[in-house]
């Protein structure tokens, strides 16, 4: 029964029998996104992001084959050597029969490293402890490459979308959505307070691909609906674009749910319940980014494209023509008093596919049932 209602809901959205005024209320979505972006920016400014040992450098200890993954003994062992040290402990190989613990600190001296290794071994019943120093140069190299990769990605996205859609406004709208997603994801990640590791950077870059994919699918439908916009006088560009959003709404929701299920499993089960700290960085970035990307592809990208297209003289003139004709129809009593119009899949332009309206009618009962009337 639930699947039947969902299928009917999706069919009604596609045909236009049911429609949500997403584009028409774009100023409301702009305001909501603006508030979220301001909050994210404030979190970045005042709380900031905390780089992991891979970026700032420091000492790392691996405690192999521990019988218990309790983290407090490791923290106490390091504090016995350096009381004011900020210690990060995570579980490595949580699915194996003999998991290990990874202990990260700032740079320790040779004597402090030896003392900390001995204290960690005693804390875990003589377990084997290995240590190494990680320099910050590797993290700086990763950061530079990530920034270059991001810039190249944005340039390629702009070029490809401009060429594919033959409309630079769609490329601009897609970039606005990408920047929206990055600011929110990084800001909310900073708000949680977790360290930014190379896995986090990978997660940030991954959500860009997810966001642009979802946006391109919606834009493809927007382009299809508006292919012969100026040849018809029934619907405005905003109305046909809103129809495209409703037609792809179920697909966007389904894609997001399918993507969030494994990410949620990694984040909440793997990181929180099992204590696999090596997974939580990328999982949190993906979790926030997928939600932000889904929101932007529906409520930001297409409304921004409509706002830009409405500035074109031809589109603005066409919109005035449609609205004036509709106002005249209201005065003649052909439309409701509010002047609303349902946008459905049909023959807006002569020669277009008529959809359900083109199917033959069926007679009720009798031997003629099933024959075309």
Token pair, residue 75, equals 């923290």
Q: At what angle do helices 72-81 and 110-123 cross, to 10 degrees?
A: 150
- Find the radius of gyration of the CA atoms of the chain: 28
Instruction: Provide the residue count of the chain.
Output: 373
Domain extents in the chain: 2-51+138-309, 58-134
Among left, alpha and beta (phi > 0; psi -120 to 50; other), residue 215 is alpha
Position 368 scores a pLDDT of: 46
Assign a CATH topology to domain 58-134: Alpha-Beta Plaits (3.30.70)
Q: Tokens 């674009």 belong to which residue?
A: 241
* Helical spans, DSSP H, in 166-197: 168-192
Taken in order 84, 86, 92, 95, is the CA torsion positive or negative?
Answer: positive
pLDDT averaged per 10 residues in sequence order, the chain, 373 residues: 68 81 93 95 88 82 83 89 85 66 86 89 86 76 80 85 85 91 92 83 85 89 90 90 91 89 82 64 89 92 94 92 83 60 54 45 49 40
Q: 155 CB contacts (<8 Å, ≥6 apart)? A: none
298 and 249 Cβ atoms separated by less than 8 Å? yes
Q: Does domain 2-51+138-309 have CATH number 1.10.3720.10?
A: no
């Amino acid at each position: 029964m639930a699947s039947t209602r969902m299928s009917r809901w999706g069919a009604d959205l596609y045909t236009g029998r049911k429609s949500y005024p997403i584009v028409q209320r774009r100023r409301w979505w702009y305001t909501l996104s603006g508030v979220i972006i301001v909050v994210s920016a404030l979190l970045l400014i005042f709380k900031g992001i905390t780089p992991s040992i891979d970026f700032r450098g420091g000492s790392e200890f691996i405690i192999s084959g521990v019988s218990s993954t309790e983290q407090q003994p490791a923290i106490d062992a390091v504090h016995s050597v350096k009381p004011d040290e900020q210690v990060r402990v995570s579980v490595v190989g949580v699915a194996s029969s003999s998991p290990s613990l990874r202990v990260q600190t700032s740079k320790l001296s040779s004597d402090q490293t030896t003392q900390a290794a001995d204290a960690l071994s005693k804390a875990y019943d003589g377990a084997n402890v290995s240590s190494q120093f990680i320099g910050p140069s590797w993290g700086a190299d990763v950061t530079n490459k990530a920034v270059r990769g991001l810039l190249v990605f944005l340039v390629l996205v702009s070029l490809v979308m401009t060429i594919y859609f033959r409309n630079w406004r769609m490329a601009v709208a897609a970039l606005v959505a990408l920047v929206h997603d990055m600011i929110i994801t990084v800001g909310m990640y900073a708000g949680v307070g977790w360290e930014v590791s190379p896995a986090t950077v990978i997660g940030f870059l991954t959500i860009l691909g997810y966001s642009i994919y979802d946006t391109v699918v919606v834009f493809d439908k927007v382009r299809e609906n508006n292919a012969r916009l100026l040849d018809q006088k029934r619907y405005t560009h905003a109305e046909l674009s809103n129809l495209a959003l409703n037609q792809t709404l179920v697909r966007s929701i389904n894609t997001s749910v399918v993507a969030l299920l494994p990410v949620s499993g990694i984040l909440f089960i793997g990181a929180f319940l099992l204590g696999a700290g090596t997974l939580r960085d990328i999982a949190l970035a993906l979790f926030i980014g997928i939600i932000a990307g889904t929101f932007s592809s529906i409520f930001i990208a297409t409304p921004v494209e409509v706002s830009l297209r409405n500035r074109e003289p031809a589109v603005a003139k066409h919109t005035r023509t449609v609205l004036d004709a509709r106002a005249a129809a209201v005065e003649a009593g052909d439309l409701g008093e509010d002047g609303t119009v349902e946008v459905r899949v049909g023959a807006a332009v002569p020669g277009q596919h008529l959809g359900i309206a083109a199917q033959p009618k069926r007679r009720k009962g009798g031997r003629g049932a099933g024959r075309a009337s």
